[in-house]
Chains A and B, each alone.
Chain A
Amino acid sequence: GENVEQHPSTLSVQEGDSAVIKCTYSDSASNYFPWYKQELGKGPQLIIDIRSNVGEKKDQRIAVTLNKTAKHFSLHITETQPEDSAVYFCAASGVSYGKLTFGQGTILTVHP
C-alpha cells in the first residue's frame, strides 16, 4: 500500500519568513495530494491540494509543488504569520478513490 513520509517533524520560523514542508510517497499510481492544517482541538482543515496533472498550484501565501518523477511534493508558506502556527499534514490518494494516506505531520511554530 501507499506510504507517505513527511519532513521535518517540527519547524520553527520567525514571522515573515518562509516555511517549507516536504513529503514523499511510494505508490506511483497516487494522483491526488492534499494538505491539511490542524489547530489544537479542531479537525483537519483542507488548505490546498494538487493533482498529478499539475506541477504547481498557488493560493495567496500558500503554494504546493509536485514532482511525479521523484514522487515528492512540498508545501510552501510565504510571509508566515503567528496564526499559521499549527500541525500540517500531507496526504496522498491513488487507486482507491477517496482513501487518503497521511504523513506523520509537521508542527509549525511562527514566532512573532
Chain B
Amino acid sequence: SAVISQKPSRDICQRGTSLTIQCQVDSQVTMMFWYRQQPGQSLTLIATANQGSEATYESGFVIDKFPISRPNLTFSTLTVSNMSPEDSSIYLCSDSGPQETQYFGPGTRLLVL
C-alpha cells in the first residue's frame, strides 16, 4: 500500500483565516479523497480530488469553502477557508488504487479559536 503523509499534523488557527493542508503519497495512485472527522464523530467524505480537473464535492460541501487541488498523481491540497470554530475537526486524505482498497493518512488536527 502507498504511504500517505500530511502536513501540518495539527494547527491552531484564528477564525476568519484559511489553512492549506497538504497530502503526499509515495507512489502514483488513481484516486485521492478528502474526509472530515468532527470531534468524536465518524468520517464524512468532503470531495474526490481529480487529477488535472476540478474536484467532485459531496452534498453539503462547496468549492468556495474547501478548495482542492491535485496537480499530479501523488499530491493534493485541501484549503479550509474563512474558518470558524465549527471547522475544528480532523481532516484526512486517502488514496484508492484499482482494487478500491482505500488507505488513510495520519490526519491534520485543526482547532479554530
Contact = CB atoms under 8 A, between A and B. Distances in A.
Contact of B102 (A46, A103, A104): A46
Interface of B is mostly: strand
Contacts of A104: 41-42
How many chain A residues sit at the interface, stated as a range, is 20 to 34
Contacts of A101: 45
B55 interface: no
Contacts of A49: 101
Interface in A73-112: 89, 93, 97-105
A103 B42 contact: yes
B105 interface: yes
Interface of A: 1, 32, 34, 36, 42-46, 49, 89, 93, 97-105
Leading 3 A-B pairs by shortest Cβ distance: A43-B104, A98-B96, A102-B42
